[in-house]
Amino acid sequence: MVIELFLNTDGNTVNEFCNSLQNPNRIVKELIIDKRKFLIISGDKENIDVEKIKSLPFISFVSDKEISAYFCSRSFKEEPSIVNVNGVNIGHGSFRVIAGPCAVENKEDLFETAKVLKELGADIFRAGAYKPRTTPYNFQGMGEEGLKLLAEVRKRYDIPVVSEILDPFDIPMAEKYLDMIQVGTRNMTNQALLKHLGKCSKPILLKRGYASTIEDLIKAAEFIAVNGNPNVILCERGIQTFEKQTRNTLDISAIPILHSLSHLPVVVDPSHAAGRKDIIPTLVKCAIVAGADAIMVEAYNKPDTMIRPGDKNQTLTIDEFKKLMETIKKILPFKNK
Ligand code: PEP
Ligand code: MN
């Protein structure tokens, strides 16, 4: 149960109220979000006299529904949220492009790619320094060296940078080098990581688990928000289905549904959804019309020589990225916002 209190409530009144709650109900958390103060009470609903609580003068709102994702829901905040990624706003009226290679592989190509993508209109640069792989024998990423190179990209080309981390232990380091921290599809259900990211000072790009529902994605975002970090961006990146023509199936329905259930911005990643680049421009057009606030695509100056050869199937060349940007510019006036 979530209770919203008037801010000017005096501490004693609240304490008395808290003490009056019977066991096994307990205050799990006191939270201040947007200058609004909340108490989160966990326990048996039968033991809580909701009507009585509602009638108390210092209570302004009681959410007595089964809550699973209150702070990320539209009931908490009706207007869409805007997340500021080091000066680049995502959500509510803007359309942003996040682009870059799958992984940081070497300084020269990283810098060259960032320079050109920024010139072509990319708003945020992406590249993985910690790569979650299905086998330990594949390239796992450059680690901290890769993050340092991304911090240099940010400085040199004046573009915010985003990258994935896998381990809560790496959060302080990522905060130092990045403007936004990505949670990958394999870690959407890693609640230990999500809770720690709630204490983090940077916005979080939370990718949907490949076998997770839309609601699960919002609940995962709630783990971050309720632990203190409201700056979460949701990312649809395809889910597993029986279809074999694409690596995953891009769930276009997720875009309007996420927008109707949650106030958080929605990013669409057609590269990891499709796993093939021939249909990326079409998927991007669909995403824009469906209301996406941003897209994230893989693009690199040398897709043919990437460490993992399979990545080239989904990685746009600079020329292809240029064409994609032209397509986006053509259809943006028709974007449904
Ligand atoms: C990525 O963005 O590089 C990535 C690994 O994505 P996902 O977690 O969606 O597979
Ligand atoms: Mn990738």
Distance 222 CA to ligand 2 centre (A): 25
Atom 8, ligand 1: residue with shortest CA distance: 184
State which of 188, 207, 249 you would mutate to test the pocket of ligand 1, scoring each by most atoms of that ligand within 8 A of its C-beta: 207
Distance 330 CA to ligand 2 centre (A): 27
Q: What number is the average pLDDT over the span 46-74?
A: 75
Residue 336 has pLDDT above 50, yes or no: no
Return the higher-pLDDT residue of 42 and 88: 88
How much is the pLDDT for 266?
A: 98
- Per-residue pLDDT tens for 288-305? 999 999 999 999 999 999
Residue 6 has pLDDT above 60, yes or no: no
Structure tokens at 241: 């289905």
Instruction: Determine if ligand 1 sits within 6 Å of the CB of residue 208.
Output: no
Upper half-sphere CA count for residue 309 (Cβ side, 13 Å): 0
How much is the pLDDT for 11?
A: 61
User: Given the structure tokens 């289905």, which residue do they identify?
Assistant: 241
How much is the pLDDT for 335?
A: 44
What is the rounded average pLDDT for all residues in the chain? 90
Atom 6, ligand 1: residue with shortest CA distance: 184
Residue 48 has pLDDT above 80, yes or no: no
Residue 325 has pLDDT above 50, yes or no: yes
How much is the pLDDT for 53?
A: 76
Atom 4, ligand 1: residue with shortest CA distance: 184
Tell me the CA end-to-end span of the chain in Å, nearest whole number. Answer: 33
Return the higher-pLDDT residue of 220 and 16: 220
What is the separation of C-alpha 195 from the centre of its chain, rounded to a whole number of angstroms?
A: 14
| pLDDT above 90: percentage of residues in the chain | 71
* pTM, 2 dp: 0.91
In Å, what is the CA distance from 194 to each residue of 130, 157, 198, 267, 310?
A: 17, 30, 6, 18, 30
Spatial distance between the Cα atoms of 56 and 6, rounded to a whole number of angstroms: 11
Nearest ligand, CA 300: 2
**Helix, strand, or coil (residue 307):** coil
Spatial distance between the Cα atoms of 283 and 274, rounded to a whole number of angstroms: 9
Instruction: Determine if ligand 1 sits within 6 Å of the CB of residue 277.
Output: no
State which of 140, 235, 269, 298 you would mutate to test the pocket of ligand 1, scoring each by most atoms of that ligand within 8 A of its C-beta: 269
How much is the pLDDT for 337?
A: 39
Q: What number is the average pLDDT over the span 90-116?
A: 96
Residue 262 has pLDDT above 80, yes or no: yes
Length of the chain as a residue count: 337
Distance 123 CA to ligand 2 centre (A): 19
Q: What number is the average pLDDT over the span 118-127?
A: 98
- Per-residue pLDDT tens for 228-254? 999 999 999 999 999 999 999 999 999
Residue 41 has pLDDT above 60, yes or no: yes
Residue 40 has pLDDT above 90, yes or no: no
Spatial distance between the Cα atoms of 150 and 144, rounded to a whole number of angstroms: 10
Res. 326 pLDDT band, cuts 50 70 90: very high
- Per-residue pLDDT tens for 183-235? 999 999 999 999 999 999 999 999 999 999 999 999 999 999 989 999 999 99
Instruction: Determine if ligand 1 sits within 6 Å of the CB of residue 185.
Output: yes
Residue 284 has pLDDT above 60, yes or no: yes
How much is the pLDDT for 38?
A: 81
Structure tokens at 81: 């949220």
Distance 103 CA to ligand 2 centre (A): 7
